[in-house]
């Protein structure tokens, strides 16, 4: 139940039905990654935006606190056209779906209120008892990257992965 504090469930494969059930009510999503995102966080979040738009018709905004600092990460964002907003400068009430990529509620590495309910978490970091339990979580610490998990969903839902998106997911 969203809102209860409990550990995030750990899965071993993509759960297409669970993901669909968690997002099918939405019209506008906030896709949050950890602050000062790295290529895995950026690629995973951008891939989730693509999935939400192409499969579910959901418009979304990618958000993270801080900035993209390393030169290689900045080049990735600029060359691939990945756009991110700072959640501190946004009206967060405009979103009816909250998605976290490469981070989790209450993890302390993102700029979202740790007590705010989250609908979806896709992450490869170990789950912890941190914040409200999301409606849907796919947390697989045995997988090396969140972008790999997102690619599983794109393939599972038969969503075309463009060369640019493939580059972001592979980066």
pLDDT digit string (tens) for 126-158? 887 677 899 999 999 999 999 999 999 999 999
Convert the pLDDT of each residue in 26-64 to its tens digit: 999 999 999 999 999 999 999 999 999 999 999 999 999
Residue 1, pLDDT > 70, answer no
pLDDT at 73 (0 to 100): 94
Residue 171, pLDDT > 60, answer yes
- Taking the C-alpha atoms of residue 50 and residue 31, their distance in angstroms, rounded to an integer, is 11
Mean pLDDT of the chain: 91
pLDDT at 9 (0 to 100): 53
**What DSSP assignment string belongs to 44-112?**
HHHHHHHHHHHHH--EEEEE-SS---SHHHHHHHHHHT---B-GGGS-GGG-SEEEEES--TT-SSSSS
């Amino acid at each position: 139940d969203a809102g209860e504090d409990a550990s995030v469930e750990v899965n071993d494969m993509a759960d297409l039905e669970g993901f669909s059930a968690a997002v099918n009510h939405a019209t506008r999503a906030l896709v949050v990654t950890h602050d000062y995102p790295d290529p895995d966080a950026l690629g995973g979040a951008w891939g989730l935006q693509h999935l939400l738009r192409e499969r579910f018709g959901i418009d979304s905004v990618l958000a993270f606190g801080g900035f993209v600092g390393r030169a290689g990460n900045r080049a990735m964002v600029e060359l691939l056209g990945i756009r991110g907003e700072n959640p501190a400068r946004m009206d967060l009430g405009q979103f009816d779906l909250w998605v976290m990529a490469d981070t989790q509620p209450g993890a302390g590495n993102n700029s979202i209120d740790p007590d705010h309910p989250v609908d979806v978490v896709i992450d490869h970091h170990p789950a912890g008892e941190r914040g409200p339990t999301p409606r849907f979580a796919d947390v697989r610490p045995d997988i090396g990257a969140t972008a790999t998990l997102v690619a599983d969903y794109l393939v599972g839902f038969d969503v075309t992965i463009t060369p640019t998106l493939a580059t972001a997911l592979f980066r």
